[in-house]
Structure 1
Amino acid sequence: MMSNIAMQKPRIEIEYCPGCRWLLRAGWMAQELLSTFEAQLGEVALIPSRVPGAFQVRFDGELLWCRKRNQGFPGIKELKQLVRDKLDPDMNLGHLDRE
């Protein structure tokens, strides 16, 4: 029998700056991730940041994307590929994996 910890699905957090009005962007990205990885993800959380200008995406606590570090926002294709690489690197994302 598997333990609850082993059965837990990954959590993605999207931390956004409410002062910059980035909630809609964060919500859209959450929706895209949930539609692509619905069966594999346990949760996508939207977190209003206390840090002005913040926009970060974390996968089980690991920073995948930081607007300041990466000098901008991720494209949805890039974000889905980053998440896929953590979930299942062999997973085919269809048209997103084509050049």
Structure 2
Amino acid sequence: MPKFVIEREIPNAGDLTAEQLQGTSDASCCVLRELGPTIQWVESYVTDNKIYCVYIAPNKDIIEQHAAKMEIPANQINQVKAIIDPTTAE
């Protein structure tokens, strides 16, 4: 199944409290359960003004549905074409 990286522009995301992040995570998991087993949230990276999320999903459409139900942006949705790490050089 394809893997996607989603860029979400969220001003001051880096200032969100642990409680706010927990609440967002909980809400996201509830929406994911509604959407069914074909979409999976892997992890997210919070920076100053953006959150980058990694999802496994059959297509961009279901990721857009998730964002709409959560009322959060999905400014860029990019399918991962390859994964590299230091062992790729070996």
Q: Where on the TM-score scale, by shorter chain, does this alignment land: which range?
A: 0.3 to 0.5
Higher strand fraction (1 or 2):
2
TM score, norm. by length of structure 1: 0.34
Instruction: Pick 1 or 2: higher relative contact order, CA cutoff 8 A, min separation 6.
Output: 2
